[in-house]
Amino acid sequence: MEKLQTLTKVLLLEDDPTISLLYSGLLQKQGMEVTSFAEIKTALDYIEANHFLSESVILTDLQLPDGNGLEFVREIRKINKSIPIIVITSTEDPKSIIEVMKEHVQEYIIKPVIPAELISRIKYQLSNKDKEYQYSEYEREKIISLEKLLDWYSYKNHSLKKGDLNTQDMHKNLFYGLRTSLAQGAGFGILTQIIDIIKVMPKAPNGNFILDKDILDLLEENANYSKKVLNRFTEIEDVIFDRIPAQSATPNQVLKELLDVKSEMSHLFSLKEQSFSMGEIDPKYLDENTIVWNQNYFHNVFYELLLNAMRFSAFSSKIYTMFQSSKEGFRLSIVNSFSDDFQMKDGIPNEYLELIFEPFFRLNKNIYEKHGSLDYGIGLSFVRQTLQKFGGSISAFNIIDHRNNTKESKIEFRIFLPYSSSVK
């Protein structure tokens, strides 16, 4: 088996000295540095002293002399949200497996462990971009996916300029990215893990599997999530193939729809104690002109934009909406700040301001479970596709807020909707 070319540091928590020596020897032969512990307390003391600055991956048992390994996992997640954790245990209890999965454990291996499988799982999880790890098959697959998506961006832009975009080729590239992205995300990815869990569950005399209620609940939860993803792609497909009926509306109707969406999302605003502030509306042109829209789709567009603003803006911050009307059309802006954990003090890099509207493009890897977002990088793509369908446009801009004698970076999503007489 090919060894890792750069140093991988492993924290191992295993109370059985024989098994601990076995794992240590196996990993050291692969060029890894192993720090072993038999108790939770000593491992946590070490972690606190070293601040997780050097470990690449953590291996832990669940049954330990001074507590449950699940407690250890929870303590780690309080300190570090992303370090890969691989649980190795002899238990096949579905409830234990579910509890561990809820703590965002990357792998769950049931003993006896096959050495080649353990090494493969570790390589699979080594995705720390700050260190030059040898690419595993998983990393190579992600690079292939990225290359395909970059080919798609290049092909689409080139074809649009020439005016000969081939929709069949376009969708081949698009859905290659879809397949790769869905395999790595929540919902679809978790469903495959649940199937593996079901395979090791007890069977009735007739050969049927006996499913624990918690397993069924988890299965239903992720199935519902997957349905939301598929529904969103159905919406995008309807936009692409021009299946949406067009309707006429005044700008006032559009603003009312935005306010209805804001009211519908009030429970989400409360998650981070955020508020919604609407600018003064110039009544000029708002009732005497009309735009082309579809109310249901614009409802979803506003929902996606406000959801995006809530997820990425700071705690207790305000999300602003501003409006401007002219003879040509109606402009609507949604502005929000950046939360500290987003690490965008200077705004979104300029080279990403257009890419954020492309399918599957994501600026970070967070999953926003409480907000109910899909996190596949398709929300803003749906927004742009829908607005363009009705002759509109959307662009993203970095802006600086100079109020309160401070400089604060914010992001503005600016929508333009032409009045019906301006639509070609």
- What is 8-125's CATH number? 3.40.50.2300
Residue predicted with more confidence, 353 or 179: 353
Tell me whether the CATH fold assigned to 8-125 matches the one assigned to 247-422: no
Q: Which of 153-157, 176-180, 250-254, 419-423 has the lowest mean pLDDT?
A: 176-180
Its CATH architecture, for the domain 247-422, is 2-Layer Sandwich (3.30)
pLDDT of residue 197: 62
Task: Quick: pLDDT tens for 311-329.
Answer: 888 889 999 999 888 888 9
What is the tens place of the pLDDT at every residue in 43-91?
998 888 876 556 789 999 988 888 888 889 998 888 877 788 898 877 6
pLDDT grade, residue 258 (50/70/90)? very high
- Sequence-distant (≥ 6) Cβ neighbours of residue 366 within 8 angstroms: 311, 341, 375
The confidence score (pLDDT) of residue 343 equals 59
Quick one: pLDDT at residue 194?
A: 62
- What residue segments make up the domains of the chain, in order of their start? 8-125, 137-238, 247-422
**In the chain, pLDDT over 90 holds for what percent of residues?**
24
Digit-coded pLDDT (tens) for 325-360: 888 898 999 999 887 665 566 777 776 778 788 766
The 10s digit of each residue's pLDDT in 284-296 is 656 778 999 999 9
Q: Which of 104-108, 348-352, 397-401, 418-422 has the highest mean pLDDT?
A: 397-401
Q: Give 121-164 pLDDT, tens digit per residue.
A: 888 777 543 343 333 444 444 444 444 444 444 555 555 555 55
- pLDDT by residue (tens digit) across 219-229? 777 677 677 77
Q: What's the whole-number average pLDDT of the chain?
A: 75
Comparing 111 with 193, the larger pLDDT belongs to 111
